[in-house]
Amino acid sequence: MDYKIVEQEGFQIIAVKKVFSFQAGQNLVEIPKFWEEVWSDGTMERLAGLVNGEVPRYMGICSVSEEQAPKQEMDYWIAVDCDGEAPVDMGKWEIPSLQWAVFPSVGALPDAIQQTWQKIYAEWLPASGYEHGPGPEIEVYGPGDNRADDYECEVWIPVIKK
């Protein structure tokens, strides 16, 4: 499985967030609906207007707290990299400096990225010499038609060398 290890300085995101269950794969069905909602209701345009960088990159960020783990729940943030203040109806989060394993994902969403996630956990992590580190998991989406067979995005997993 193709990947690279990256040391990334901390950064701030501004985002909208929902809580999802990952029991019986509910998150695999409900998170794509969340993305559709954010694209259709104007929220994504508002997020894009907050981006500090040259090219807007959208992120899907997964985080499971100690309280959520027993309930099989997770926070999922749809975010942009932004150093400013968050609007009243959005949240702000400082992502810490971490070491990341970065995996390319190519293909139409959501199938391609869901397959990438499956391979990371089923194949790469058990054989990699790394373990999952503390911190969120990040999906990084660039420009382009995310329904195209050649659409490119990335999955970022915080890792620690075993």
Contact between 118 and 150 under an 8 Å Cβ cutoff? The reply is: no
| DSSP E strand stretches across the chain | 4-8, 11-21, 58-63, 73-81, 91-95, 98-106, 130-132, 137-141, 152-161
pLDDT digits (tens, 9 = 90+) for 119-155: 999 999 999 999 999 999 999 998 889 999 999 999 9
Distance CA 82, CA 13 (A): 5
Predicted TM-score (pTM) of the model is: 0.92
For the chain, list the domains and their CATH numbers.
4-161 (3.20.80.10)
- Which residue bears the tokens 């890792």? 159
* Owner of token pair 């309280």: 67
Could you tell me the two tokens for 71? 């309930």
Q: How confident is the model at residue 57 (pLDDT cuts 50, 70, 90)?
A: confident
Rounded Cα distance between 107 and 16, Å, is 25
What is the per-residue DSSP string for 99-141?
EEEEEEEESSTTHHHHHHHHHIIIIIHHHSSEEEPSS-EEEEE
pLDDT digits (tens, 9 = 90+) for 60-97: 999 999 999 999 999 999 999 998 899 999 999 999 99
